[in-house]
């Protein structure tokens, strides 16, 4: 399979044609070999417009959702970013291509370890992978210029808001377990401006400031 032309088509027809405007985001997505972030038997579907299973009951997000969330973050090359929900590490790679430093936190050890290995093999040196409850953020490296949560939360975790730098942006899907709205929260002094964006469906953010006691997963 010609992954490079599949990637080009994905960028043109699934992303640019549907309104993604940031050239930086489009270029980065065209560069990263997304098929290396999914199980081998699913590689042929890596450039289609839907999430894919990555094991442990989790998913790699739909490419359009990765693009829209990254665009909303308005990243600068000097930014320090926190990602909650490493999963496959694909979104982590997208962030690391644009920003200066990325901390990504994942609650499932097996996924965190696999993603770390994958990102190391691809040569990323500006990423730190942590295993833990990201609903509490990651205080040792706070504050962050941007925080992205790639799992759905019943509400906006206070800990994440507190770990934003002045002018910092937090992108998070908030709502019920079956449907959420993508929120963008911008810290301005002691205030937080909230914008509502598209509807979305994410796996749950499981943790102290997310969904508590969500099965035993």
Q: Which residues form the interface with ligand SAM (CB under 6 A)?
A: 58-61, 84-85, 87-88, 90-91, 105-108, 111, 133-135, 150-151, 202-203, 205-207, 210
Please say which residue, 168 or 204, places its beta carbon nearer to ligand SAM: 204
Is residue 197 within 8 Å of 68, Cβ to Cβ?
yes
First to last CA, the chain: 35
Distance CA 165, CA 78 (A): 13
Please say which residue, 24 or 193, places its beta carbon nearer to ligand SAM: 24
Please say which residue, 87 or 168, places its beta carbon nearer to ligand SAM: 87
- Least Cβ distance, residue 98 to ligand SAM (angstroms): 15
- Least Cβ distance, residue 110 to ligand SAM (angstroms): 10
- Least Cβ distance, residue 73 to ligand SAM (angstroms): 13
Active site members:
61
Please say which residue, 51 or 168, places its beta carbon nearer to ligand SAM: 51
- Least Cβ distance, residue 7 to ligand SAM (angstroms): 15
Give the dihedral of Cα atoms 163, 80, 137, 65; nearest 10 deg. Answer: 110
Q: How many residues are recorded in the chain?
A: 217
Alpha-helical segments (H) within the chain: 3-9, 23-31, 63-73, 90-98, 109-121, 158-162
Is residue 153 within 8 Å of 173, Cβ to Cβ?
yes
């Amino acid at each position: 399979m010609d992954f490079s032309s599949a990637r080009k088509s994905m960028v043109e027809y699934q992303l640019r044609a549907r309104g993604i405007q940031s050239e930086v985001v489009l270029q980065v997505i065209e560069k990263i070999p997304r098929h290396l972030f999914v199980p081998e038997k699913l590689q042929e579907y890596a450039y289609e417009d839907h999430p894919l299973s990555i094991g442990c009951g989790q998913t790699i997000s739909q490419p359009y959702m990765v693009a829209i969330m990254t665009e909303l973050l308005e990243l600068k090359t000097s930014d320090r970013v926190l990602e909650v929900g490493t999963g496959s590490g694909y979104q982590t790679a997208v962030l690391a291509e644009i920003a200066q430093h990325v901390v990504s936190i994942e609650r499932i050890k097996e996924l965190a370890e696999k993603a770390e290995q994958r990102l190391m093999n691809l040569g990323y040196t500006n990423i730190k992978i942590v295993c833990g409850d990201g609903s509490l953020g990651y205080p040792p490296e706070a504050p962050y210029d941007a925080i992205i949560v790639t799992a759905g939360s019943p509400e906006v975790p206070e800990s994440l808001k507190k770990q934003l730098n002045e002018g910092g942006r937090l992108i998070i899907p908030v709502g019920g377990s079956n449907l959420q709205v993508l929120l963008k929260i911008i810290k301005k002094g002691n205030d937080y401006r909230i914008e509502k964006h598209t509807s979305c469906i994410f796996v749950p953010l499981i943790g102290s400031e997310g969904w508590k006691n969500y099965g035993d997963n």
